Amino acid sequence: MSAPKSRTSMQSAWRFVSSLPIPGLVGLVIVVFWMLIAMLGPSIAPYEVGAIVAPDVFGALTTQNPLGTDYLGRDMLSRILFGARYTVGLALAAALAASVTGTALGLTAAVAGRWIDELMSRVMDALISIPSKMLALVIVASFGSSVQLLMLTAWLSYTPGAYRIARSLAVNVKTLEYVQVARARGEKLPYIACVEILPNMINPMLADFGLRFVFVVLLLSGMSFLGLGVQPPNADLGSLVRENISGLGEGAPAVIMPALAIATLTVSVNMLIDSLSGRSVRAEN
């Protein structure tokens, strides 16, 4: 029984892939590439992450060091393969937390009474009016920088946006006839929220999750770039740009490569989402 089922899911996956326009397809390929790098990166890295392998710092691209060497003569390719795990992993976790919380709260606000809705919407409006970078800077100034705190900040910053979208989707779905029928049937609120409404807002929420992911990657790598994010000896892609910034004057690949790595990740997610739904990133926050 399981074989035909997996074939149909393969078929629908294939139908999804072949329906994408070219930019979306390119985006999908690069996104999959980065997910693989985040999972496998450290095991395929040619050198240890901290190993000094070349005599010259800020080296050019060679066959030994395909992406050059950094300010200590370490292999840039290996540094990026290790750093990608931080950037992708942290952003995935924080974006997932923000999307799930936002969806759950938005759904609750839509089906619960007017007072709960009003209260939650006010709190979210206040949260959304603190720019995410400001919130991150204030939190880091107060508590110092740690990975847990960065994730908490990203989660706090990007939950309100997900909440707003989830709430408006849920409010729309709620007025549809089959939900009215379920109400008339006497179904309980949790049933209506989870069985009737949630499945019909899952696709736009997935697209929104992609946007949250891009926001979080940009926020975390920005903080690391300022030296206020992931702390040494650990390094995400933003930290790699920072630690090599002194090579900028001589045009070292060590500065440009990790920055390019971040851009390919965020741009590809953006292209993929745009071809799904036509919504643009940074439309809010």
Partner 1 sequence: MMPGGTSQLIAQRIGAAVLTLLIVSAVIFTITGLLPGDAAQQALGQSATPETLAALRAQMGLDQPAHIRYFRWLSGLVSGDLGKSAMNSLPVTELIATRLPNSLVLAGVTAAVSVPIALMLGIVSAMRRGSLLDRGLNLATLSLVAVPEFLVATIAVLIFAVKLNWLSALSNTADTATLGAFVRAYAMPVMTLCCVIIAQMARMTRAAVIDQLSASYVEMAVLKGARPVRVVLTHALPNAIGPIANAVALSLSYLLGGVVIVETIFNYPGIASLMVDAVTNRDMPLVQACAMIFCTGYLVLVLVADVVAIVANPRLRK
In contact, 57 and 70? CB cutoff 8 Å:
yes
User: Is 236 one of the binding residues for partner 1 (CB under 8 A)?
Assistant: no
Binding status of residue 240 toward partner 1 by CB under 8 A:
no
> Which of 11-19, 53-61, 195-203, 216-224 is the region at the interface with partner 1 (rule: CB under 8 A)?
216-224
If we measure between CA atoms, which residue out of 208, 201, 203, 202 comes closest to residue 270? 208
For the chain, helix (H) and strand (E) counts, in that order, are: 11, 0
Residue 80 binds to partner 1 (criterion: CB under 8 A): no
Question: Contact with partner 1 (CB under 8 A): which of 67, 235, 255, 276?
Answer: 255
| Rounded (10°) angle between helices 147-174 and 202-225 | 160
Site for partner 1 in 141-180 (CB under 8 A): 141-144
* 73 touches partner 1 (CB under 8 A): no
CB of 243 to partner 1, least distance (A): 13
Asked whether position 221 contacts partner 1 by CB under 8 A, the answer is yes
Q: Is-contact 228 137, C-beta < 8 A? A: yes
3-state DSSP assignment of residue 69: strand
Among residues 102, 158, 270, 276, which is the contact residue for partner 1, using CB under 8 A? Answer: 270
- Closest CB to partner 1 among residues 3, 283: 283
Measured from the CB atom, the residue of 143 and 178 that comes closer to partner 1 is: 143
Among 42, 73, 204, 227, binds partner 1 (CB under 8 A): 227
> Rule CB under 8 A: is residue 280 a binding residue for partner 1?
yes
Q: How far is CA 89 from CA 44, 254, 281, in A?
A: 17, 22, 20
**Can the peptide bond before residue 131 be classed as cis, meaning omega within 30 degrees of 0?**
no
> How many Cα atoms sit within 13 Å of 282 on the Cβ side?
6
**What's the chain's Rg over C-alpha atoms?**
22
Q: Which residues form the interface with partner 1 (CB under 8 A)?
A: 23, 125-127, 129-134, 137-144, 214, 218, 221-222, 225-228, 238, 241, 245, 248-251, 255-256, 259-260, 262-263, 266-267, 269-271, 274, 280-282
